[in-house]
């Protein structure tokens, strides 16, 4: 069973994007680009990243 957790190997800040990429088995760069679009498109990406960093286990 897969579990969504922060990446220990592919982390830039907190490992959230790397963990999401590992869970969905995609390239972490794609996740980071989508997250950046959410951030630039209204600031929701920053809030979602902080929430994910707090909620996701290590």
Q: What is the mean pLDDT of residues 2-9?
A: 89
Q: What is the mean pLDDT of residues 15-24?
A: 93
Average pLDDT, the chain: 90
On the question of pLDDT at 25 being above 90, the answer is yes
Report the alpha-carbon distance of residue 54 to residue 33 in Å, rounded: 21
**b/e burial code for range 8-42 (CB count within 10 A of at least 16 → b):** eebeeebbbbbbbbbeeeeebeebbeebeeeeeee
pTM for the predicted model, two decimal places? 0.84
Confidence of residue 12 (pLDDT cuts 50, 70, 90): confident
Confidence of residue 54 (pLDDT cuts 50, 70, 90): very high
């Amino acid at each position: 069973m897969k579990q969504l957790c922060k990446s220990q190997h592919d982390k830039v800040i907190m490992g959230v994007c790397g963990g999401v990429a590992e869970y969905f088995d995609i390239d972490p760069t794609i996740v980071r680009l989508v997250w950046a679009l959410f951030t630039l498109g209204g600031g929701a990406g920053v809030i979602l990243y902080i929430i994910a960093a707090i909620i996701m286990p290590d």
